[in-house]
Structure 1
């Protein structure tokens, strides 16, 4: 029996759902989950098929910077697990810190830095091993498929911060020193929650902009949405190929 796949779509990445053969949709509010007020987050689950796999697509997410706590932020992950999801694919929009990773390309997460100051596992001795948050065998499969498709797929470390403000150039220099390749405001807490539930995790950052201080232009959320939408097609092709592999 194949794993039921859950896919979480980040800012501007709603078009990733276009190739899913949708059977039904469920709004976040219908199952008592918080709804994001950020543009680019539709706030619904889509049940259907991608390739040969049954999937649940979580179209949008909530964030710490909206005033939600870590438990609320990861409620969607717990709900998908309750529906039978065994492998969770997380996507996000992120700023790139690496001159070799240009905006408009994708980075597969090999690891992360949780710099949010919180965890969905708070409240008890939930000592979950995090040696390999992002499933190694799945990463190898994605790596091979991306090469076959001629897709430029980077790999690196994602730094998750609270936001909502973008980082300062000094903070970006600090993150580079810590080993981060990309930075954003989501994903890490969802990954922690999924691993605590025994769910496999894969994650991808759409690199939508240069981080502060690496470009003369200022950062703008509209640019994040636009770049994410433009890059969505290549990721959907990769996910579709993975779902028939």
Structure 2
């Protein structure tokens, strides 16, 4: 029982018990007992849900325990159960809570923990992000090979020690490369946001080994590893990062780059998911 105005994930609640309750809601509302793969659709990746397979059910995320209404344009706020031509069930998450919304890490990673509780063994995380490599261009999809967590936070609580070696699984990246051998890859840096990075911060990210800058994904990937899932990460380069590009950054630019690339990258994602 929670106090009036409290959220189901607020302490002293056990976030894993809340994820189990959410998974039970999804099974009841979709009629699908368990899912094999989960996909979180970030900015620009939304059409993939239509291409992965046959939609069995679409439900508002707010009807599932612990989920919040997305605060960001470009995120649709639904959960969808899709059956692939091979008969596997994919949970498509169009409801992402970003760290910068200030709700705490538990709510940021709740969708991932819920996906694991539905039975999913593979977590595909996608996002729209800024590129540091000057050879990249807006609308280009890249694989995430590793990440640097610059939020100064973690979804792990207490003395919980999780190995993050090969966090973004080489096996899954090889599958993606079998679909499109031209895919480049890079290290993703998650900043706290919601402001875009300064040119100096982008140069810092570059100096410490980063290739991509954004405001999501890393915390979710850590939670997915804790839950025992394999992780595949994709970034859509929506713009060159501050100082790499001479032009000021805007959210409208991100949305437009995603809209222009959506058909192509969604088809790529759907084909990759079909092989997982």
> Are positions 1:77 and 2:112 aligned together?
yes
Select the structure of larger CA radius of gyration: 2
Instruction: Show CA shifts across 1:166-219 (max 9, x none).
Output: 001111111110111010000001100000010110000000001001122111
Q: Is the 8 A contact 1:44 1:60 kept in 2?
A: yes
| Counterpart for residue 135 of structure 2 | 100
Q: Which residue in 2 is equivalent to 1:118?
A: 153
- Structure 2 length normalisation: TM-score? 0.83
Which structure 1 residue ranges, 4+ long, deviate > 6 Å from structure 2?
none
Determine the C-alpha separation between the residues in 2 that align with 1:205 and 1:129: 23
Instruction: Tell me how far apart the structure 2 counterparts of residues 97 and 42 of structure 1 sit (CA, whole Å).
Output: 28
Which of 251, 254, 257 aligns to 1:227? It is 257
Q: Distance in 1 between matches of 2:85 and 2:136?
A: 29
User: Which 10-residue stretch deviates more, 170-179 or 32-41?
Assistant: 32-41
Cα separation, 1, equivalents of 2:242 and 2:221: 26
TM-score, normalised with respect to structure 1 = 0.93
1:158 matched to 2:192: no
- TM superposition shift of 1:141: 1.3
Aligned to 2:170: 136
Report the Cα offset of residue 49 of structure 1: 2.0
CA RMSD of aligned residues (A): 1.6
Q: Does 1:15 align with 2:50?
A: no
**Where do 5+ consecutive residues of structure 1 fail to align?**
none
Q: Which residue does the alignment assign to 1:182?
A: 212
> Relative contact order (C-alpha < 8 Å, sep 6+): which is higher?
1
The question of whether the paired residues in 2 share the 8 Å contact of 1:40 and 1:60 is answered with: no
Query: How many pairs does the alignment contain?
Result: 239
Name the CA distance, whole Å, in 2 between partners of 1:221 and 1:50.
Answer: 33
Matched-pair contact (CA < 8 Å) for 2:48–2:267: no
| Pair 51,231 (structure 1): closer, same or farther in 2 beyond 3 Å | farther
